[in-house]
Chain A
């Protein structure tokens, strides 16, 4: 399965671990579909950042596509 990369430079840091976010491969799922994506996340606790442009852009697009399948 191919991985879609959404890594980007970000000022957000993990408040709990005091760590900058690192590109991390994760699986996101919706309606029985699994996607391999690379997102920025805390390397220590795994807190994943979903930036606004991704949530209201590509992610929403894919959600709606899947909802009509």
Chain B
């Protein structure tokens, strides 16, 4: 990712866009922060917000015509916020908190003719920028048409305060000075720039042809002359805040004019503008506007607090609200991608975001929710590829999952055969590695059923589609896996692949080229299904769609149709289909960040209080591990009669899944194809005895029972181990590949009792990398 790509991606996240009120305000007052201050009763904080943007808060706060009102999102769920009334409350009950600094004088003289609010604003802004401004008016006081407000609304002392403020910034005030054609005609020669406030000065008074002010810069045709204020052509009413906008716009133009730089470049965001902010109000409570008890006085402190408390603090965060990963890292996509970019820019030092990059489930829920399809998953996945290519991928992040994948692709687990007794296949059943690991009986039943139902031969392929390598950013390993799959498929005569796993389906559709792919569910939906009404649960179940089937509407519909045919009572939850969550397996989240993976499963499980029905083996097992009662759909189509209730089946855990895959291959080879399976390695003959507690510990530490067997086998073979004479326990270690495993055990007549297991990656002197 380079800077340009970063900016293009960042732009899609709109969390930092202006809220609707600020965007519609001609001077972009941070109304949201103003409301936040008032809502917590912090008047000084609210006043600070006004002081930061408003040139004369004492005046504007009393008479602002609040163009933001009709843009306020609160209007969708109650009336818009009474912003003007709250401004009035704020400025009548507070004094100046923040006084913007005056920059050092930098030359240039400006005449401001007319003392309306736009002239006052222009003079003030120029004074603050260090320009010498002279404000001239023929009347004895400031304000232009503001002087028409009754004393109760706008006390005359506020205009006197404004005069003091202007003088404080070095503005020369020439009050009660005749302004006629002769006076004006002399100005361009005496000053570097001149601003006419049309609120007070009639354009016909100008002795030279000026035309209408340019709307962007307020420049007149006469060089060095600018004008604004009053009621512009086309408008019917006098707008206070428009006066401020014109004065500010003119000051900025004059500043640029004096600096001899472009008057027009990059001024799109000045004045009221549109915003891409996206705020959903659905589900928020409807709240009516607070009406002051005494309309003449306005809000009391309590009323103001209540009214400001109605502000919904418009922001987007739609993805963050649903994504456990973004919440965990306290990021929204724009800040996340920036951290990813910075992480990749580090040449020497610690890459603190590695774990964050590896913790995304790559499920794409955020992208679906985002109004601009922000591609968090793409960013994380392609960054992982970059990390692998650059040799920066932490070895421990995905090692276990990739070893698991290698095992699924080893001679102990794979099987690629035509249907027994046939020499060609029209179809091939591909259950996927996790279904084989979780529910091997369901794989056998499904295969037998398909061979009985479909004509033309149904072959079987046991293996792994390679998605762990794809998720881990291991491009080479993934490409090799895909190549291996295609070669095997070709050897079987390119039959139509029927896969039970939506991850395999998504991978084959995207990467396997012109291979014919069907989902098992869509195939089953066309066949006569075995129905076992007595074995179905009576209660309603909620379906948990897997994240990799997010965009597979046809597949999702088939699953529901099958449930209907079976007679299962299904209730939908809101986070299904396109919006479905990941169970924690996706993107290898649960390996790179086990605690977050567990949280993801809890979140997915909690989307419905009903017992669950999954049709992805990993969803089934992870939801079960989170404590949810959940069954796999195949368990209701092909019930294992002697088995316990499918809803109560435990998460098999890593070791059992390994074992199940290897046994499934052995069983099928010997029973269906009458072929011998590969000889069992020696260490597998070691009988180990574990308590549930020790087994859970091994699972948490990603240590397989087979690793334990390898350690003991190695110790028995070499005699190298430690012994504790106090209790006769033994301690041995072995490094099969990259990880050194330690096991504390005791040989008994029944087998080896295992007490503990732990591992490390650091190499001891005798070990080779």
Interface residues of A (CB under 8 A from B): 11-16, 21, 26-31, 35, 45-50, 52, 55-56, 59-60, 62-65, 67-69
Contact = CB atoms under 8 A, between A and B. Distances in A.
Contacts of A30: 761-763
19 contacts: A12-B723, A12-B724, A12-B731, A13-B724, A14-B723, A16-B719, A28-B764, A35-B762, A45-B720, A47-B722, A50-B733, A50-B742, A52-B758, A55-B758, A55-B760, A60-B760, A65-B350, A68-B352, A68-B355
A60 B765 CA distance: 17
A12 B742 contact: no
Contacts of A21: 722
B607 interface: no
B121 to A, nearest CB: 53
Contacts of B174: none
A67 B395 CA distance: 7
Contacts of B724: 11-13
Contacts of A15: 719-723, 730
Contacts of A45: 720
Contact of A27 (B352, B396, B742, B765): B765
B351 interface: yes
Interface in B716-769: 719-726, 730-731, 733, 740, 742, 756, 758-766, 769
A17 B431 CA distance: 51
A30 B396 CA distance: 12
B118 interface: no
B722 A12 contact: yes
B719 A68 contact: no
B354 interface: yes
Contacts of B769: 29
A40 B762 CA distance: 16
Contacts of A27: 765
Nearest to A46: B766
B142 to A, nearest CB: 62
Determine the main DSSP class of A at the interface with B: mixed
B394 interface: yes
A49 to B, nearest CB: 6
Interface in B320-373: 349-352, 354-355
Identify which of B349, B351, B726, B731 gathers the most chain A CB atoms within 10 Å of its CB.
B731
A68 B763 contact: no
B672 to A, nearest CB: 44
A64 B355 CA distance: 10
Identify which of B396, B725, B758 gathers the most chain A CB atoms within 10 Å of its CB.
B758
A28 B765 contact: yes
A7 to B, nearest CB: 16
Contacts of B763: 28-30
Contacts of A49: 722, 731
A50 B719 contact: no
A11 B739 CA distance: 25
A49 B740 CA distance: 12
Contacts of B722: 12-15, 21, 47, 49
Contacts of B720: 15-16, 45, 47
Interface string B555-599: 000000000000000000000000000000000000000000000
Nearest to B349: A69
Q: Closest 3 CB pairs between A and B?
A: A67-B394, A12-B722, A15-B723
Interface in B218-242: none
Given A28-B763, A30-B762, A67-B394, A13 B723 contact: yes
Identify which of A12, A31, A45 gathers the most chain B CB atoms within 10 Å of its CB.
A12
Contacts of A48: 764-766
A35 B761 CA distance: 13
B764 A50 contact: yes
B769 to A, nearest CB: 8
Given A12-B722, A64-B396, A28 B758 contact: no
Identify which of B724, B725, B760 gathers the most chain A CB atoms within 10 Å of its CB.
B760
B394 A28 contact: no
Nearest to A67: B394
Given A14-B722, A15-B719, A68 B351 contact: yes
Contacts of B742: 50, 52, 55
A59 B731 CA distance: 18
Nearest to B740: A50
A11 B762 contact: no
A45 to B, nearest CB: 7
Contacts of B765: 26-28, 46, 48
